[in-house]
Amino acid sequence: MSDKFARRMGTVHRSFIREILKVTADPEIISFAGGLPNPELFPVHAMDTASREVFAAVGASALQYSTTEGDLGLRTIIASRYEQRGLQVDPDSILVTTGSQQILDIVAKVFLDRGDKVVIERPGYLGAIQAFSFFEPEFLTVTLESDGPNLVELEKRFEQGAKCFYAVPNFQNPSGVTYSLEKRQAVAELADKYGVLFIEDDPYGELRFLGEDLPSIYSLCHEPGLLCGSFSKIAAPGFRIGWVVAEKEVYDKLVIAKQASDLHTSTVAQAIMRRYLETNDIGSHVGLIKERYGRQRQCMVEMIHQYFPVGVSIIEPEGGMFLWGTLPEGVSSMDVFDTAIKKKVAFVPGRPFYVDGSGENTLRLNFSNSDEQKIEVGIKRLGECLKEFLQ
Amino acid sequence: MSDKFARRMGTVHRSFIREILKVTADPEIISFAGGLPNPELFPVHAMDTASREVFAAVGASALQYSTTEGDLGLRTIIASRYEQRGLQVDPDSILVTTGSQQILDIVAKVFLDRGDKVVIERPGYLGAIQAFSFFEPEFLTVTLESDGPNLVELEKRFEQGAKCFYAVPNFQNPSGVTYSLEKRQAVAELADKYGVLFIEDDPYGELRFLGEDLPSIYSLCHEPGLLCGSFSKIAAPGFRIGWVVAEKEVYDKLVIAKQASDLHTSTVAQAIMRRYLETNDIGSHVGLIKERYGRQRQCMVEMIHQYFPVGVSIIEPEGGMFLWGTLPEGVSSMDVFDTAIKKKVAFVPGRPFYVDGSGENTLRLNFSNSDEQKIEVGIKRLGECLKEFLQ
C-alpha cells in the first residue's frame, strides 16, 4: 500500500508531542508537557444551560446542515468583541472554522504551492508546521528574541522572496514570547514593504497577566493580512470553534477551501457557543482564567528561581500557557527528558519546534494545567534532574 | 492579492449547488434542489436528553481536547452496528471525522499527487470532486448505468493507471443508482486485479426502501480499501460526524492528515452522539426515516409518470434521497431551470456532476425534504415546464 501514498507523506509525521503524551500517561508523573487548558475552569454548567436553551428554542435547525461561513449571530458576537478591544471587524469578514487548526490547513490550501517560502518563528508552533508541511513549502525561520523576531533576519527572509509570515505575537506557543510594540510596528512595515502576507495567530491574546495589551500586527499592516482566533483557550476547546478574519477576495477563497474540507463547522457546537456568549459574561470568565493561570505562572517562575541550577535561562511570559527554558549549550533536553520521566516529571523537549533541527538545549513547560502544589513538587523534581546534567 | 493564490485555486470553484440554493431561497419556490435530510425527523428530544446526560455525567471532559482517532466508545458502537449487518470491523480501524466530507479531504491528502489518475462515477458526487480537486488529480470517469458502472469502461480506466476509484454504490448522489450484486463483484475483482484502491462512500446505505441489502464492495475486495460512513443521514448532519474504516498502515497516515486538518472532531458532538446511540434504538429511528422517504419517493415517481412528458426518462431509486432524470438529447436542463424558477419550482441541473462538461440534458431531484403535497404540486409545475421545452 505504501507505494500509493502521495509524495508529501514522506515529509509529514505524527506529532512528537502526541507521542510524548503517551509516555506521560502514568498518573504519578507531574506533567508540564501537554498544552491543555485547565478543565476546572470550563464553564460546564453554563454550557449545559446554553445547550438546553438551544434545543428548546431552535431544535431541529441546530441539527441541520448550515452555511460554510458559520452562524451569523456567532460571527456578530466575535466582531463586537473585537470592537470592544478597539478593532473594527465586519461579521462578513469572519469565517468560523473547526478550531484554529483548520485555519492553518485552509490558508495553506489557498496560498501554498510546493516550494513557496513561508517564514515561521524559531521556535515555531508545531500545529502550523504540521498543517503547512502537507503543502510542501520551504520553511524559512526567524529567530525569536525575548521581545519578538530578530528584525535583520526577518528582512533577509522577506528579501529571499517569502510569500507569507506566520506568527503568534502574544505569549507564543512554545516560547511564551510577546512582541514589543516597536517590533510589531517594524514587522508590519516590513510586511507592507515586501508585500508579504502576514498571518497573525492569536489564541492566547486575552490571557494577559502582566503588562499592557498591545495592538495586533494585523491592525498595523496597511496591506491586508489574516487574523486568527479561537474559543479553545477562553471558553473550551472541545467545541472546536475558531475563526479567521480576512478581506473579501481572500475570504471567498478560504470559503471554497473550507467547503471542500468539512462543508461547515458543527451547527450544534456553534449554536451552543453562541447561546453561551449571549447569556454569559465571557469577559468575567476570562478574568477567572487569567487570575488562576497568572498565579500558576507566578508559582512556576518562583519555583524555577528556587530550584533550577545556574545556567538555565527562562523567558518569563506575560500571559498564555507556556514558559520556555534554555539549557547551557551542549546539554540535550531529550536526555534530560528521559531522566525526568524516571523522576516522575515531564516537559516537552524543544527540538520539534525547530524545523532546522536545532534547539536541542531548549524545553517547554506548561503551567495552565497544574495547580500550585503540583508545580512546586514538579519543578523541584525537574530542578534536581537538571542539576545532575549541569554539574 | 490574487497573485499570491496557489495554482490549485485556479481549478477549484464555489459549489454550484450552493449558488443555486441562493436562487431558491424564495419561500414560494418548491425546491427539489437541495440535498437536505428532512428536519422533521431529527431526534431533537432524544439529543436534548443525551446532551443533558453528557453534561451531568462527564462534564468538563466533554469540553476538553481529545484524541485525533475519536471517542473509543463511539467507534465501538459504529463497529457493532457493522457487525449487525455482517461486517467485522475493529473499532481501532475506525477514524472519526468531521463529517464524511473530511474523509475525502484527508484521503486526497494521503494519496493524491498532482496528476494522479482518480476514477469517479459519471455523474459523480460533487463534494468528492471538490475535495479531490484541491490536490490536482486527473479525473477519469466511468459511466453509470442503471445497475452500476460500465465495466468495459472501468477496466479501461484501470488499465490507464488509475490509483483509486471513488464510488457511492448505494443510492448514489446524484443519480440514485444502486450497483447490482454482479457489478459489485466485478468491481471488486477489477480493483484487486489492477491494484486500484477502492474508496466506498456509503452515507445512504441504510436508507433502502425497496429490494434487498447487498454486500459492500469493500467487503468483496481482497486488497484493503476504504469504507466511509456518516451519521448525517441516519441521525442528524449538524454534529458533523462521519467515519472511515481503514487498514492499519493507511489508518496511521489518515490520522496524521486529520491531525493537521483540525486536531480532532468536536468532543462535545461525539459525546452527545455516543450517548444518543447508547440510550436510543437508532435502528427503529432509521425505520421511521425509511418509511417517510419511501413514501415521498413513491409519490415523486408516481407524479412524474403522471405529469412529465414522454421523452423524459428517470432512474427510480431503491433508497436514499435523490432521483435522476434525463431529458432528450439537445435539451438543456440549465435552460429548463431558468423557466422552472419562474414557475416556482427548482431542481439541480446535472452538468456540474460531470467533470467532462457533458450531462447537459440531465437533472437531479431531491425527495427527502418535501412532503407529498409539495411533491405533487412541484412535479406538476415542473412537468408543465418540461412540456414547453419538449414540444
Please tell me which residue of chain A has the smallest CA distance to B113. Answer: A6
The set of residues, in sequence order, having a beta carbon less than 8 Å from that of A304 and lying 6+ positions away, is A312, A314, A323, A325, A379, A383
pLDDT bin (cut points 50, 70, 90) of residue B80 is very high
Residue A260 near residue B261 (C-beta atoms within 8 A): no
Which residue has 433508497 as its cell numbers? B319
- Give the side-chain half-sphere CA count within 13 A for B338: 5
Q: A240, B15: Cβ pair inside 8 Å?
A: no
pLDDT given for residue A20 in this prediction? 77
Distances (CA, A) of B313 to B56, B195, B208: 54, 36, 22
The structural domains of chain B, ordered by start, are 2-42+284-390 (3.90.1150.10), 45-279 (3.40.640.10)
Mean pLDDT, to the nearest integer, of B193-219?
97
pLDDT bin (cut points 50, 70, 90) of residue B155 is very high
Q: A266, B239: Cβ pair inside 8 Å?
A: yes
Q: Which of B225, B211, B216 is nearest to B169 (CA)?
A: B216
- CB-nearest to A263 from B42, B62, B101 is B101
Neighboring chain A residues of B249 at a CB cutoff of 8 Å: 1-2
Most B CBs within 10 A among A5, A13, A38, A65, hence the mutation to make, goes to: A65
Please tell me which residue of chain A has the smallest CA distance to B16. Answer: A256
Neighboring chain B residues of A135 at a CB cutoff of 8 Å: 6
pLDDT in tens, B170-181: 999 999 999 999
Local confidence pLDDT in tens for the 391 residues of chain A: 788 999 999 888 777 777 777 777 788 999 999 889 999 999 999 999 999 999 999 889 999 999 999 999 999 999 999 999 999 999 999 999 999 999 999 999 999 999 999 999 999 999 999 999 999 999 999 999 999 999 999 999 999 999 999 999 999 999 999 999 999 999 999 999 999 999 999 999 999 999 999 999 999 999 999 999 999 999 999 999 999 999 999 999 999 999 999 999 999 999 999 999 999 999 999 999 999 999 999 999 999 999 999 999 999 999 999 999 999 999 999 999 999 999 999 999 999 999 999 999 999 999 999 999 999 999 999 999 999 999 8
The string of DSSP codes covering A158-214 is HHTT-SEEEE--SS-TTT-----HHHHHHHHHHHHHHTPEEEEE-SSTT-B-SS---
Most A CBs within 10 A among B65, B111, B119, B165, hence the mutation to make, goes to: B65
The set of residues, in sequence order, having a beta carbon less than 8 Å from that of A208 and lying 6+ positions away, is A170, A171, A290, A318, A319
pLDDT at B17 over 90: no
Residue B144 falls in which region: left (phi positive, over 0), alpha (psi -120 to 50) or beta: beta
- CB-nearest to B65 from A36, A45, A257 is A36
pLDDT at B53 over 90: yes
The pLDDT > 90 percentage for chain B reads: 93
pLDDT at B16 over 80: no
Q: A64, B39: Cβ pair inside 8 Å?
A: yes
pLDDT at B270 over 80: yes
pLDDT bin (cut points 50, 70, 90) of residue B11 is confident
Residue B188 near residue B221 (C-beta atoms within 8 A): yes
The set of residues, in sequence order, having a beta carbon less than 8 Å from that of A364 and lying 6+ positions away, is A174, A175, A322, A323, A324, A325, A347, A348, A350, A353
pLDDT given for residue A387 in this prediction? 96
pLDDT given for residue A120 in this prediction? 98
pLDDT bin (cut points 50, 70, 90) of residue B20 is confident
Mean pLDDT, to the nearest integer, of B154-169?
98
The string of DSSP codes covering B103-128 is HHHHHHHHH--TT-EEEEEES--HHH
The string of DSSP codes covering B221-239 is -SS--EEEEESTTTT-GGG
Q: Which of A150, A143, A35, A120 is nearest to A359 (CA)?
A: A143
Residue A236 near residue B63 (C-beta atoms within 8 A): yes
Q: B261, A265: Cβ pair inside 8 Å?
A: no
DSSP B89: -
pLDDT given for residue B308 in this prediction? 97
pLDDT in tens, B183-202: 999 999 999 999 999 999 99
pLDDT given for residue A358 in this prediction? 95
Most A CBs within 10 A among B53, B243, B268, B274, hence the mutation to make, goes to: B268
Helix (H, G, I), strand (E, B) or coil at B52: helix
Mean pLDDT, to the nearest integer, of B290-305?
98
Helix (H, G, I), strand (E, B) or coil at A332: coil
Q: B112, A253: Cβ pair inside 8 Å?
A: no
E-only strand ranges, B249-320: 313-315
Q: B261, A15: Cβ pair inside 8 Å?
A: no
Distance of alpha carbon A61 from alpha carbon A55, whole angstroms: 9
pLDDT given for residue A213 in this prediction? 96
Burial of A105 (0-12, 13-18, 19+ CB in 10 A): buried
- Give the side-chain half-sphere CA count within 13 A for A288: 13
Query: In sequence order, which ranges of A280-321 are alpha helices (DSSP H)?
Result: 282-307
Round the average pLDDT of chain A to a whole number and report it: 96
DSSP A353: G
Please tell me which residue of chain A has the smallest CA distance to B14. Answer: A256
Q: B113, A260: Cβ pair inside 8 Å?
A: no
pLDDT given for residue B2 in this prediction? 80
Distance of alpha carbon B186 from alpha carbon B150, whole angstroms: 10
pLDDT given for residue B370 in this prediction? 95
Distance of alpha carbon A244 from alpha carbon A100, whole angstroms: 8
Q: Which residues of A237-263 are buried (b: 16+ CB within 10 A; e: fewer)?
A: bbbbbbbbbbeeebbebbbbbbbbbbb
pLDDT given for residue B21 in this prediction? 73
Q: How many separate helices (H) and strands (E) can be counted in chain B?
A: 13, 14
Please tell me which residue of chain B has the smallest CA distance to A252. Answer: B14
Distance of alpha carbon B336 from alpha carbon B194, whole angstroms: 42
